[in-house]
Amino acid sequence: MTTISGKKREKIDRLAELAGRDDERGVSLWQEAFRRLRRNPAAIVGAVILGLFLLVAIVGPFLVPHPADAQLWKGEIRDNIGYFPGPRAENWFGVDHIGRDEFSRMIIGARQTLLVGIVSTLIGLAVGSLLGGVAGAAAGLGGKWGRALDNVIMRFVDMLLAMPSLLLAISIAALLGSGLTTVMIAVGVVSVPVFARLLRGSMISQANSDYVLAATSLGVKKPKIALTHVVPNSLAPVIVQATLTLATAIIEAAALSFLGLGNNDASIPEWGVMLADAQRYLDAAPRLAVLPALAIIVTALGFTLLGEAMREALDPKLRK
């Protein structure tokens, strides 16, 4: 009778087990998404851009060579012939139209931009998620009142969505007066309907999934199902959207500042305001417009790249 050599049998059995047993602990979906993110070049480029931006915004203002609002080189400006000192050793990006150091203003502006972007996105995320979450939960719990509440909230959100975003922002600014807070609130409100609809839709589709039915059949109470199953599984698209919204928030904030609805405090530079100021000197010193515009674009691009890469990493359809 043939006996099977121990070594070969071990090999077969090990191979058979390999399928489910690469390492000791399981890999959760988030970990798996992060692994995929790390393999995506777009995500890495986006992350590097954002890393630099964060570094500049946080550390930069402490290291700037000159104060942002000091008109140190006012005397050198020849406004009648449109001459501003260009890039040189003491002013890397040159001097702006009233004699301030452009480089320092750009750096301090980064912090403003980051602040406006994050705060306004957070406003949109918080209010939108609250509305969408309540509507989604109400729709999921069902019943006459649940459906009515869902209907009321969503019609309100539809109204917000129906208005052109910039127009909405301008009217809010008109109501509250111009200023940094206004910009943040206006940009935040504009993104509310996006988050609300996204979270509600995501929650409703999750609520119809089999694992929610499975939890119901286990006897778990509806509110608990909503909190432990529906909401966590609905968050991925919202997080992706928040990253993408950061990009549009920065652009919209810049646009509002450009229109003069932003901060009036000249001592706090902001890329949108700088862009607005520079447009009168486009001929004489195009860099004054190009540099802040470029900064806005690159930052927005960084957020967009990262957001799209996250969408890809978290999309269950792309999972094998």
Partner 1 sequence: MALLQVDDLSVTFARRGQRTVHAVDGVSFSVDAGEVVGLVGESGCGKSVTSLAIMGLLPKQPGLRVGGKAVFDGTDLLQLDDRSRRDIRGRDVAMIFQDPLSSLNPVIPIGLQVTEVLTRHRGMRGEAAKKEAADLLDRVGIPDPRRRLKEYPHQLSGGMRQRALIAMSVACQPRLLIADEPTTALDVTIQAQILELLKDLVRDSGTALVMITHDLGVVAGMCDTINVLYGGRVVETARRRPLFREPRHPYTVGLLGSVPCLDAGPGERLKPIPGSVRDLLAWPDGCAFAPRCARRIDECVGEPPELVLAHDGRSYRCLNPAPVPGTVPPWATGGRAATDPATDAPTAGAAAPAAADDATAGPVPAPREKEKP
Partner 2 sequence: MTEEAGTESDILVEVRDLKVHFPIKRGILLDRVVGHVKAVDGVDLSIPRGKTYGLVGESGCGKSTLGRALLQLTPPTGGEVRFDGVELTTLPAGKLRTMRRRMQMIFQDPMSSLDPRQNIESILVEGLQTHGIGTDRDDRRRIIGETLDAVGLPRWALSRYPHEFSGGQRQRIGIARALVLGPELIVADEPVSALDVSIQAQVVNLLEELQDNLGLTYLFIAHDLAVVKHISDVVGVMYLGALVEEAPSDRLYSEPLHPYTRALMSAVPVPDPDVEDRRERILLAGDLPSPANPPAGCRFHTRCPWAQPTRCADERPALRDIGGSRVACHFAERIASGELRPHKVSVQIVRPEGEGGAPAVVSAPTEPGSYV
HSE of 52, CA atoms in CB hemisphere, 13 A:
12
Positive or negative torsion for Cα 190, 195, 198, 201: negative
State the DSSP code for 4: P
Does 1 participate in binding partner 1 (rule CB under 8 A)?
A: yes
What is the rounded distance in angstroms from the CA atom of residue 1 to the CA atom of residue 296? Answer: 78
Residue type, 147: R
Does 218 participate in binding partner 1 (rule CB under 8 A)?
A: no
Using CB under 8 A, which of 6, 75, 164, 316 touches partner 2?
A: 316
Residues from 10 through 39 that contact partner 2 (CB under 8 A): 19-21, 24-30, 32
- What is the closest distance, in whole angstroms, from the C-beta atom of residue 172 to partner 2 in the complex? 28
What is the rounded distance in angstroms from the CA atom of residue 216 to the CA atom of residue 131? Answer: 25
Q: Which one, 42 or 122, has the nearer CB to partner 1?
A: 42
What is the rounded distance in angstroms from the CA atom of residue 143 to the CA atom of residue 78? Answer: 73
Residue 232 interacting entry, from partner 2, partner 1, none, C-beta within 5 to 8 Å by type: partner 2
Does 161 participate in binding partner 2 (rule CB under 8 A)?
A: no
Give the residue among 138, 297, 148, 307 at the shortest CA–CA distance from 237: 307
Does 11 participate in binding partner 1 (rule CB under 8 A)?
A: yes
Residue 317 interacting entry, from partner 1, partner 2, none, C-beta within 5 to 8 Å by type: none
What is the rounded distance in angstroms from the CA atom of residue 300 to the CA atom of residue 117? Answer: 10
Residue 174 interacting entry, from partner 2, partner 1, none, C-beta within 5 to 8 Å by type: none
x/- string (CB under 8 A) for partner 2, residues 218-237?
Answer: xxxx------xx--xx----
Q: How far is CA 20 from the centre of its chain?
A: 37
Which stretch in 63-71, 156-164, 167-175, 206-214 sits in contact with partner 2 by CB under 8 A? 206-214
CA angle 93, 112, 68 (to 5 degrees): 45
Does 13 participate in binding partner 1 (rule CB under 8 A)?
A: yes
- Residues contributing to the site for partner 2 (CB under 8 A): 19-21, 24-30, 32, 209-211, 213-221, 228-229, 232-233, 316, 319
